Amino acid sequence: MDRKPLRCKLAAATVPVLILLLSACTRSNKPAATAETATARPKAGQTTEIVKLPPPTPQDVRDAVARAFAGALALTNQARPSYSVGDFNGDNSEDIAVLVRPNPARMAEINSSSANWVVWDPTRVPLPKPHQQLVRLAANPGQEHVRRGDLLLAIIHGLGPEGWRNPHAYQTFILRRVASRAPQTARLPYLLVLQPRGEDVLPEVGSLGMGYVYWIGTAYAWQPRTNVAAAQALPMKASKAGHPRG
Amino acid sequence: MPKRLKRFLPPLFVMAAMLTLTMMIVHAANRSRLIPGMGQTDPAPAPAAFTTVVGDSLPFNGSNGLTDICPNIDSSGHTVVPEDISAGCANNGFPEPPGDSFFLDKSIFEKQDRDFDGLGPIYNEKSCVNCHQGTVSGGWSHTAELRAGATINGTFVNPTVTINYGLNQITGRSLINALAICSDAEEVTPDQIASNGQVVTPTTTQRISLPILGDGFVEAIADSTLLGIQQQQCLSTTNTHICGEAIQVQILESPNQATFAVGRFGWKDEHASLLSFASDAYLNEMGVTNRLPPNNQEVTRVCEVTPANQIEDQPDNLGLADIDHFAVFMRGLQAPPPEDQEDIINSGQGASIARGQALFQVIGNGNGIGCANCHVPQIVTAPAGTNQGGLTPIPDALGNRVINPYSDFLLHNINTGDGIVQTPVGPQGQSYQDTAMKIRTAPLWGLHTRSRFLHNGMAYTLRQAIMAHGAPEGDVVLRNFLALTPGQQQDLINFLNSL
C-alpha cells in the first residue's frame, strides 16, 4: 500500500481546517469588524439641522408624559396641557417642557433613587459671580426630592429627528422651584452664564423671581433675569489678537 | 497495535502538534488584543494605594510606615519594584533625579506660593494641592474654574478680557482667572466676543480640576494603544455611533517642540506629557512663568512684582525647577485603588458588584450594556525602555504595567460638551474645531472617593451622571441602562461605587 499519498492527503486536509480554526478563534473575542470604515459612519461631533416638526397636539403631550414618566406625573390641565417645545440642550433634536404636578399616589416612585429621571433644582447650581470665577463647590447636596403638590417642569430631551416623540427619548428631568406658569421658549441674544451654546431657554418665574432655565451641558441651571439684564448693559470691549495660550 | 493504525500515527502526531501550536498562537493573539499595549513579557499590575496624605508636616519613613524610595536598583541598573509596593512604599517606583526625593516633590507640590515667588498677577490658586487634594495630595477637586469663548463662523475664538481700567487686555486663552495680587489685574468675563465683524455672547463653562493619581502610568500608554482602542470603537458595528477622537498635541519639552503625541490629560486632552501639563498649569493656574514656551511669558504684567524678562520658576540646588518636581511627583504617584475588598465583603455587596461588572462590559459581550466601550477597564502601558511623549525612555516602574483606568482617554460627544476648544489645530494643520462639544472620557478609577461627577461637578449621584449621557455617542448606552431592571441598575451603580 502506498502510504505517502495518504499522509499528503491528510496533511493537505489539515491545513485548511487549521486556518479555519485560527480565523474563527481570532474573531471570537472582539466585536465583528466589517469593511465599514470610521469615515463611512456619521462622525460623533457632526451636527445636523433640527427637523421642523408639526406642533404637538394635547394628546401628543399626554402620551409623551405618560410614556416617559410612567404615570408618576399629572398634567396641570388634562384638556389643554401647558407645554413648550424647543431645542433646550442644543443637540438639534426637539425637546419638550411640560407643566406638571406629582401624582400623590406615586411619591415614593418619583423620589426613588432608581427612578428613570433626574429630579433637579436648577436654582441650586452655583453660578460664578463677576469677581468669583473659581467656585468652591458646596458639600454634595444629594438627591433632590419632590414634595406633594409641587408645581414642576417635566422635560423630555428629544432623540434624533423625531425629537421628544421618539419612543426611545428617555433622557428626562423633573425640575423643582422654577415653574409657576405655562412654560415658554425663547432664544436670548444676551448672556446666560454657563450656557455652552445658543440653545432655547425657558423664561420662568422661579422661587427666586423672574429668570431663565437653561441647559449647562450636564444639567439645568437657573439665572435671575436681573443678572442677564445687568450683563447686557455692560459696554463691549475692543478685540485684539494675542499669542495662543491656556 | 494493528498495522493499519500505526500508519495513521505519524500524521495524527503532526496534526496534534499543529493544533497545539495554533492554539498557543491564538491564545497569545487574544491576550494581546484584550490587553492593548501588551509588551514582550507578562505585564505586572501597577501599584495602587492612597499614600500621599495632604500636609507638609508628615514625613515618609515616619509614623505612617511609608518609605520614600521603595524600589531598589539591581546590578544591571534596572529598577526593582517590590511585589507588594502598596504595603510600605509611598511612590510607585519612578526613579528620582539625583538628590531628589518623592517627599521633596510632594512638599513642592503642596508649597503655597507668594507674589515674590512668582504667584500671579492673576491666578486661581496658590498651590497645586489646593485643586488636587480629594482624599490625598493629587486627588480630585472641589473647585471649579471658569472658561469662556465663542464659536464664530465655525471657529472658536478666545475671549478678550480687559483689565486695569481698560488699559490692558488678556487674550489667547479661554481660562478666566479668579484671583489677582492686586485689584487692577482682576479678570471679569466679557459679555461679548467679537471676530470678523460679528459680535456674539460668550460660551462659559465651569470645570472641576482632575485627579492626577496614576497619571504617570497614563503618560506611559503608547499612542498606538490609544489609537487601537479608537479604531476598534470606530470600526465596530455593534456600538452604534461611538467613535472617540484622538488629537495630536505638542510635547512642550521636546527639542524644538517638534514632537507630538496623542493627548490624554485635561478635560480636552490638551496634553500628552506631565511636564507640559505642569508647565501650563503653573503659568495659567498660578501665574508662575517657567522655561517651556509659551509658558515663559506672563499672561499680564499689571502689578507684577518680579523682574521683567525673568523666568520665575528657577532651578533649585538640584538643578530642578518646580515644574520638574511637579512632573516627577505626578509620575511617581500610585494609581487610585478600588474600594477595599474587605469592606466590600463586609457590606454584603460582593455578588451585586460582580453582576454590575458584567453589565458594565462592551456591547455584544454577554449582558454588557456598553459602558466599557469608552470606559476601558484595563490598559497595559508601553514596554519599559521605549519612548512615549515626555517619557524618554519609559522607566521600569511605569513600563509594561496593567492599569485599570476605566477610560479610553479619547474625546467623545455625549452632549455634555462645553463649547470650548483648547487645541484648535493639529501638527499637519488639521482642524480640531469639532472638539468644542467633546469631553475626554472620565477615568473612573478611584470613583468611590468622589462625590461630584462630570466636568462641571453638576451631577451629585452616579445615576445623574449616567442620565447625562446623550446623543450622538451616549444615548444608546443610556437607553440600555434604562432598559435594565431596577435591581440590575443598582448592581451597576454598586460596581461603580467599588472602583
Chain A residue numbers with beta carbons less than 8 Å from the beta carbon of B457 are 137
Q: How close is the nearest chain A Cα to the Cα of B384, in Å?
A: 27
Q: Which residue of B has its CA nearest to A159?
A: B471
**B261 φ/ψ angles, rounded to the nearest 5 degrees:** -145, 170
DSSP B79-112: EE--TTGGGTBSS--PPPPTT--HHHHHHHHT--
Note which residues in 295-314 of chain B have CB less than 8 A from chain A: 295, 297, 299
Cβ contact A125:A219 at 8 Å = yes
Q: What is the pLDDT of residue A105?
A: 96
Question: Least CB-CB distance to B204: which of A37, A189, A194?
Answer: A194
β-bridge pairing B203-208 and B248-250: unpaired
**B170 φ/ψ angles, rounded to the nearest 5 degrees:** -115, 125
Answer whether residue B339 shows pLDDT above 60: yes
Chosen for mutation from B140, B169, B173, B206 (greatest number of chain A CBs closer than 10 Å) is B206
> Does residue B7 belong to the interface with chain A, where contact is any CB pair within 8 Å?
yes
> Does residue B451 belong to the interface with chain A, where contact is any CB pair within 8 Å?
yes
Query: d(Cα B222, Cα B261) in Å, to the nearest integer?
Result: 9
- The three-point CA angle A174-A180-A183 to 5° equals 70
Answer whether residue B497 shows pLDDT above 70: yes
Cβ contact A145:A201 at 8 Å = no
Question: Least CB-CB distance to B243: which of A41, A191, A192?
Answer: A41
Q: What is the pLDDT of residue A131?
A: 53
Query: d(Cα B1, Cα B12) in Å, to the nearest integer?
Result: 15
Q: Using pLDDT thresholds of 50, 70 and 90, give the confidence band for residue A175.
A: very high
Q: What is the pLDDT of residue B52?
A: 84
Mean pLDDT is highest, among A85-94, A206-215, B70-79, for A85-94
Chain B residue numbers with beta carbons less than 8 Å from the beta carbon of A212 are none
Mean pLDDT of B378-392: 95
Nearest Cα to A53, choosing from A92, A91, A94?
A: A94
Q: What is the pLDDT of residue B188?
A: 87
Answer whether residue B153 shows pLDDT above 80: yes
DSSP code of residue B419: S
Q: What is the pLDDT of residue B149?
A: 92
Q: What is the pLDDT of residue A142?
A: 81
Chain A residue numbers with beta carbons less than 8 Å from the beta carbon of B228 are none
Structure ipTM over 0.90, yes or no: no
pLDDT digits (tens, 9 = 90+) for B242-264: 999 999 999 999 999 999 999 99
A22-26, B237-241, B445-449: the lowest-pLDDT one: A22-26
Q: What is the pLDDT of residue B201?
A: 78
Answer whether residue B183 shows pLDDT above 80: yes
Nearest Cα to A217, choosing from B90, B66, B455?
A: B455
Nearest Cα to A211, choosing from A234, A235, A177?
A: A177
CA distances, B22 to each of A19, A26, B10, B40, B453 (Å): 9, 11, 18, 19, 46
For B434, residues 6+ apart whose C-beta sits below 8 A from its C-beta are A43, A45, A46, B245
Mean pLDDT of B90-108: 89
Q: What is the pLDDT of residue A96?
A: 95
Answer whether residue A108 shows pLDDT above 50: yes
pLDDT digits (tens, 9 = 90+) for B202-226: 888 899 999 999 999 999 999 999 9
Q: What is the pLDDT of residue B38?
A: 39
Nearest Cα to B444, choosing from B487, B493, B481?
A: B493
Cβ contact B195:A237 at 8 Å = no
Query: d(Cα B350, Cα B184) in Å, to the nearest integer?
Result: 57
Exposure pattern of B320-339 as b/e (b: 16+ CB <10 Å)? bbbbbbbbbbbbbbbbbbbb
Beta carbons of B455 and A22 less than 8 Å apart: no
pTM assigned to the model = 0.82
The CA R_g of chain B, rounded to the nearest whole Å, is: 25
Answer whether residue B346 shows pLDDT above 80: yes
Ramachandran category for residue B289: left, alpha or beta (phi over 0 → left; psi -120 to 50 → alpha) = beta
Answer whether residue A5 shows pLDDT above 80: no
For residue B440, the cross-strand partners are B411
Query: d(Cα A140, Cα A144) in Å, to the nearest integer?
Result: 11
Chosen for mutation from B127, B298, B458, B481 (greatest number of chain A CBs closer than 10 Å) is B458
Question: Least CB-CB distance to B33: which of A30, A32, A131?
Answer: A30
For A188, residues 6+ apart whose C-beta sits below 8 A from its C-beta are A201, A212, A228
Higher per-residue confidence, B29 vs A12: A12
Beta carbons of A241 and B434 less than 8 Å apart: no
Beta carbons of A237 and B162 less than 8 Å apart: yes
Answer whether residue B72 shows pLDDT above 70: no
Cβ contact A21:B22 at 8 Å = yes
Question: What is the distance between the terminal CA atoms of chain B, rounded to a whole angstrom?
Answer: 60
Share of chain B above pLDDT 90, in %: 68
Mean pLDDT of A85-101: 92
Chain A residue numbers with beta carbons less than 8 Å from the beta carbon of B186 are 131
The amino acid at B228: G
Query: d(Cα B458, Cα B205) in Å, to the nearest integer?
Result: 11
Beta carbons of A135 and B206 less than 8 Å apart: yes
Q: What is the pLDDT of residue B256?
A: 95
Question: Least CB-CB distance to A29: which of B33, B412, B459?
Answer: B33
Exposed / middle / buried, residue A136 (Cβ in 10 Å: 0-12, 13-18, 19+): exposed
Q: What is the pLDDT of residue B25?
A: 43
Higher per-residue confidence, B126 vs B309: B126
Chosen for mutation from B204, B268, B269 (greatest number of chain A CBs closer than 10 Å) is B204
Answer whether residue B324 shows pLDDT above 50: yes
The three-class DSSP label of residue A126 is coil
The residue whose grid cell reads 495662543 is: A244
Q: What is the pLDDT of residue A27?
A: 34
Question: Least CB-CB distance to A133: which of B166, B176, B242?
Answer: B176
Q: Name the average pLDDT for chain B.
A: 87
Q: Name the average pLDDT for chain A.
A: 73
Query: d(Cα A211, Cα B479) in Å, to the nearest integer?
Result: 32
Answer whether residue B170 shows pLDDT above 60: yes
The residue whose grid cell reads 451622571 is: B465
Q: What is the pLDDT of residue B383?
A: 96
Beta carbons of B438 and A45 less than 8 Å apart: yes
Answer whether residue B93 shows pLDDT above 80: yes
Chain A residue numbers with beta carbons less than 8 Å from the beta carbon of B463 are 113-114, 118
Answer whether residue A101 shows pLDDT above 60: yes
B77-91, B254-268, B399-413, B451-465: the lowest-pLDDT one: B77-91
Nearest Cα to B139, choosing from B129, B151, B148, B152?
A: B129
Q: What is the pLDDT of residue B75?
A: 63
For A233, residues 6+ apart whose C-beta sits below 8 A from its C-beta are none
Nearest Cα to B435, choosing from B467, B410, B465?
A: B410
Cα A221 to chain centroid distance, Å, stands at 13
Q: How close is the nearest chain B Cα to the Cα of A191, in Å?
A: 6
Answer whether residue A100 shows pLDDT above 90: yes
Query: d(Cα A93, Cα A53) in Å, to the nearest integer?
Result: 10
Cβ contact B337:B49 at 8 Å = yes
Beta carbons of A31 and B237 less than 8 Å apart: yes
Cis peptide before B121 (omega within 30 of 0): yes
Q: Using pLDDT thresholds of 50, 70 and 90, give the confidence band for residue B420.
A: very high
Query: d(Cα A95, Cα A164) in Å, to the nearest integer?
Result: 5
pLDDT digits (tens, 9 = 90+) for B445-494: 999 999 899 999 999 999 999 999 999 999 999 999 999 999 999 999 99
Q: What is the pLDDT of residue A78?
A: 80
Mean pLDDT of A130-159: 84
Beta carbons of A134 and B124 less than 8 Å apart: yes
The H or E element containing residue A135 is: strand A135-136
Note which residues in 121-140 of chain B have CB less than 8 A from chain A: 124-125
Total CB pairs under 8 A between chain A and B: 276
Chain A residue numbers with beta carbons less than 8 Å from the beta carbon of B470 are 89, 91, 157, 171
Q: What is the pLDDT of residue A228?
A: 61
Q: What is the pLDDT of residue A192?
A: 65
Exposure pattern of B230-264 as b/e (b: 16+ CB <10 Å)? bbbbbbbeebbbbbbbbbbbbbbbbeeeebbbbbb
The amino acid at A97: A
Q: How close is the nearest chain A Cα to the Cα of B391, in Å?
A: 22
Higher per-residue confidence, B17 vs B472: B472
